[in-house]
A and B are shown apart, each in its own frame.
Chain A
Amino acid sequence: MSGAPVSSTSSRPAGRGVSWGLLRPQTLLVLFLLAVLLAPLVLSDFTVTLLNYVGLSALVALGLVLLTGIGGLTSFGQAAFVGLGAYTTAVLTAGTDLPPALAMLAGSPWLALLVGLLLTSVVAIVLGSVTLRLSGHYLPLGTMAWGISLYFLFGTTEMLGGHSGLSGIPPLELFGFPLTESRHYYYVVWLVVLVAVLTSRNLLDSREGRAIRALKGGRVMAEAMGIDTGRARMIIFVIAALHACTAGWLYAHLQRFVNPTPFGLHIGIEYLFMAVVGGAGHVWGALLGAGVITLLKQWLQDILPRLFGSAGNYEVIVFGLLMVLMLQRARDGLWPLLARLVPVRQEVKVIDPQAAPLPRKDQPPHGEVILQAREVTRRFGGLVANNAMSLEVRAGEILALIGPNGAGKSTMFNQLSGVDTPTSGEILFRGRAIAGLGARRIAALGMSRTFQHVKVLSRMSVLENVALGAHRRGQRGVLSAAWRLERAEEARLLRDAAAQVERVGLGEVMHDEAGSLALGQQRLLEIARALCSDPCLLLLDEPAAGLRLKEKQALAALLTRLRAEGMAVLLVEHDMDFVMGLVDRVVVMEFGQKIAEGLPEDIQSNPAVLEAYLGGVEA
């Protein structure tokens, strides 16, 4: 599990609080921008051209950082999307004998960019809907296959000029000024790259961005927080494709000629190399990787024939060797190594106490039946894990589900929370049948849960982890996040998240990485995250496991307070002291069945329960 530390404001420096005297990230950014701005004035023509290509590759690699490094989806097919962008503009601006439908759109590179982006979106959505629902390793293989398909298609289609390609693409014009010189074109390329970098960074540091960062290793949790992870995957897939398409469009007008070669599978693989070498989890890694690989290749092509003669293809040998060695030494890429050398002060997220509180759902009246399970049975083959289990939870009540190991508590918990579907029986949540509805939709109805094996994103801060719970309480989408138009909503979300963090007593560690917390604290984090979704029913799976006595007392006090506010709580727990002093009613399970139900004091003296826990007396 790793939510990548993309946002500079997302985590504190290693030495807590020691931030004075270090460089501000803004200072570095300004220095970098200055360098980009001044580079063409001092560098040779050749180098500027090289930098143009670095920029184009960086754009594609940036899409891969989102897709692969952060979203965990690997694509070898990005070069094909680059090809789509390049060929679209080539056909529309340089093609002859266009069919009338296309001729309408022909002539303008800018219109061609729009058409290319549209076309790419459609292709990406079709390909994505085919492959994205599958588990991890299909995507790379699938992308490999359609990467080859599209490449062959470019080479065999008459209208696209076959293997010899299309020439005569006009240069881009800005206000009637043709950009034929690479020095001028440089500014277009790098403007696009920088905009892409900044919008990507903005996106990742937002509500949608947190959902994206949860994709790698946190999908089950994210769905339980009401996040549509399928949609989030599609979003980054399309964004990566659009980045690639834009790079292709820029390429076509830089080169003024296209043929299939630069869009083949091998180039697609090279883009992935760039992302991985740079550091696939880091937005700036894309730039670094693109630079390193482009320059390295150039240098190898330059120097190796001089050393060994031009008989063989030494470049790929050395290149492959360097890649293997680098991955054996630095798996996470070069950016983290570089970042360690530069003492950057990392700033903590600011919580705005003035932000308007988020709207809350109407809480059901005290005593209303919120959750009702009727005769729920779950079979796994011949094994009956839950047999005709019935229970109900009311608003303002804490119900404990207890039982010895293997009694079927967790299975029951999974049926109630929508992770699993009962074989038969009915589950009603506020009068609505929810069996088989899926965790995400159930979460939307106002049920929230924690996990027996904690599921936190260890590289994200405690605050951001908790804010995931509030996902459904915000609406602003990807575009407004990319351009920072959702800051008001973001402030409200963070304020609520911060309030929940304080409420469970984690205020001290709010900005620390979640992975650095003790297990007990991570359990509290999960409760805060669940509370952040504004539920009326909390399902807690062994919340007291791993907590120290003080923490248990604090947790009990918190749950008592929630109960007083009208919250319904169902908890599965082993710790009898904790349960008996806290809850209103107890349901006891053994061998998949309910063997007792009642007040804690009655349960403690119930003979069936005693037998289940302590073993029967031989009669």
Chain B
Amino acid sequence: MDPSIMLFLAQDGITNGAIYTILALALVMVFAVTRIIFIPQGEFLAWGALSMATVEAGHVPGTLWVLLLAGGLVFVLDLWSQRQRRDRRALLRSAGWNVAYPLVLAGLLSLLPLAALPQAVQALLVMLVVVPLGPMLYRLAFQPLAEASVLVLLIVAVSIHFLLVGVGLLIFGPEGSRTQPFSEAQLELGSLLVGGHTLVVMAASLLLIGGLYLFFGRSLYGKALRATAVNRNGARLMGISPALAGRLTFLLAALIGVMAGLMFAPLSTVYYDSGFLVGLKGFVAAIIGGLGSYPLAAGGALLVGLLESFSSFWASAFKDVLVFTLILPVLMARSILSHGVEDDE
């Protein structure tokens, strides 16, 4: 293997690794705050990517209908749960976010010349449509089960994954799509050609990581989420609503998923069911980090990206086998390092 191929593979691996990194961060975050192993993370990636492809083609993305429907359901549910003590302001807020916002967005999307918009605006519209589905999903599926065991939450997460894949097929069809890269530029560094999109991915990932760092370190909401992660009951006693923490976490997770999708779609063709495998690779990374450490998860993600790109060169048929088997030595190491017996919750 000559050095230029090696550099090319490394670049490819790092680009994918950056995407796995942000997915891994989201998974670690969701698990820490809500104890949910967030299998549907990959669906947000796929929906973000495919909605972008639809918008690029000048059509209104099918995720808008999902948003209208999910918003309506959330509002009905809020109305039902408020039937005893009618909290006007809470209901008004719910109506605003879950009914009015999707309607306004629908009007906007039907009026705008979607295909002609600048790429950044298209991406923004996609985020405006898909990201709110995160908190709605939490409200509909997980909030009624917030106190359930990790196993039950996991099964619900998997059921939601099935459901979303089915819906994805319905609104996007079976064909795959690839979107325009955010930058066509080619940067020459010695013998290495660095693609502009690679740089965009790296920059966006770093920005996101920095943003999360600031959010969790400096903002009150970020600290509330961290408090919930450390001690749910203690946080509740301090007036942090677990439902709010859950919805906020899902908002962030959906944001990260959609961003990952926007960055991933120009690299590889995305189908309605592509999200699962990509998300699982984020999982492998998160497991390497022990589902608790953000920096280790990021390191794991880069490792997964590099392993994937190099093994696709040497043994492409066994690419996925290798990536998922990577987890075994990692778990073995963790198992040797861990000692003592603990009670599971």
Chain A positions near chain B (C-beta within 8 angstroms): 68, 72, 74, 127, 129-138, 140-142, 144-146, 148-149, 152-153, 156, 216-220, 223, 229-230, 269, 272-273, 276, 280, 311-317, 319-321, 323-324, 327-328, 331, 439
Q: Which residues of B contact A218 (CB under 8 A)?
A: 343
CB distance from B156 to the nearest CB of A (A): 5
A130 near B166 with CB under 8 A, answer no
The listed residue (A141, A313, A328, A439) touching B37 by CB distance below 8 A is A141
**CB interface residues, B 314-345, toward A, < 8 Å:** 317-318, 320-321, 324-325, 327-328, 331-332, 334-335, 338, 341-345
Pick the most buried of B37, B318, B324, B332: most chain A CB atoms within 10 A of its CB: B324
Q: Which residues of A contact B342 (CB under 8 A)?
A: 135, 219-220
CB distance from B312 to the nearest CB of A (A): 13
A146 near B328 with CB under 8 A, answer yes
A-B pair count, CB < 8 Å, reads: 152
Asked if A149 meets B343 with Cβ closer than 8 Å, knowing A141-B37, A269-B158, the reply is no
CB distance from A497 to the nearest CB of B (A): 23
Q: B320 — nearest CB in chain A belongs to which residue?
A: A152
Contact with A along B127-164 (1 / 0, CB 8 A): 00000000000000100110011111011101111111
Q: Which residues of B contact A280 (CB under 8 A)?
A: 151
Asked if A141 meets B283 with Cβ closer than 8 Å, knowing A136-B150, A320-B163, A324-B141, the reply is yes
Q: Which residues of B contact A223 (CB under 8 A)?
A: 341
A313 near B148 with CB under 8 A, answer no
B341 near A141 with CB under 8 A, answer no
Q: Which residues of B contact A217 (CB under 8 A)?
A: 343-345
Asked if A327 meets B155 with Cβ closer than 8 Å, knowing A130-B331, A142-B287, A316-B163, the reply is yes
10 sampled A-B residue pairs with Cβ under 8 A = A138-B287, A144-B280, A146-B324, A152-B324, A217-B344, A276-B151, A314-B166, A317-B162, A320-B161, A324-B160
The listed residue (A134, A276, A313, A314) touching B338 by CB distance below 8 A is A134
A219 near B341 with CB under 8 A, answer yes
How many Å lie between the Cα of A74 and that of B37 in the bound state?
Answer: 12
Q: A133 — nearest CB in chain B belongs to which residue?
A: B335
Asked if A220 meets B159 with Cβ closer than 8 Å, knowing A138-B334, A142-B287, A328-B144, the reply is no
A145 near B325 with CB under 8 A, answer yes
B: number of interface residues (CB 8 Å): 48
B141 near A148 with CB under 8 A, answer no
Q: A139 — nearest CB in chain B belongs to which residue?
A: B331
Asked if A133 meets B338 with Cβ closer than 8 Å, knowing A146-B327, A317-B166, A320-B166, the reply is yes
The listed residue (B159, B335, B345) touching A130 by CB distance below 8 A is B335
- CB of B108 closer than 8 Å to a CB of A: no
Q: Which residues of B contact A134 (CB under 8 A)?
A: 331, 334-335, 338
A130 near B150 with CB under 8 A, answer no
Q: A276 — nearest CB in chain B belongs to which residue?
A: B155
B321 near A149 with CB under 8 A, answer yes
How many Å lie between the Cα of A255 and that of B311 in the bound state?
Answer: 35
A142 near B151 with CB under 8 A, answer no
Q: Which residues of B contact A135 (CB under 8 A)?
A: 338, 342, 344
B325 near A149 with CB under 8 A, answer yes
Pick the most buried of A220, A269, A324: most chain B CB atoms within 10 A of its CB: A324
CB distance from A313 to the nearest CB of B (A): 5
CB distance from B207 to the nearest CB of A (A): 28
CB distance from A326 to the nearest CB of B (A): 9
Q: A329 — nearest CB in chain B belongs to which residue?
A: B144
- CB of B45 closer than 8 Å to a CB of A: no
Q: Which residues of A contact B154 (CB under 8 A)?
A: 74, 140
Pick the most buried of B37, B151, B166, B283: most chain A CB atoms within 10 A of its CB: B151
B169 near A272 with CB under 8 A, answer no
- CB of B201 closer than 8 Å to a CB of A: no
How many Å lie between the Cα of A276 and that of B324 in the bound state?
Answer: 26
- CB of B170 closer than 8 Å to a CB of A: yes
A220 near B321 with CB under 8 A, answer no
B344 near A136 with CB under 8 A, answer yes
B331 near A131 with CB under 8 A, answer yes
CB distance from A458 to the nearest CB of B (A): 13
Asked if A323 meets B155 with Cβ closer than 8 Å, knowing A152-B320, A313-B169, A316-B165, the reply is yes
How many Å lie between the Cα of A166 and that of B156 in the bound state?
Answer: 35
Q: Which residues of B contact A311 (CB under 8 A)?
A: 170
A140 near B37 with CB under 8 A, answer yes
How many Å lie between the Cα of A223 and that of B340 in the bound state?
Answer: 10
How many Å lie between the Cα of A177 and that of B29 in the bound state?
Answer: 59
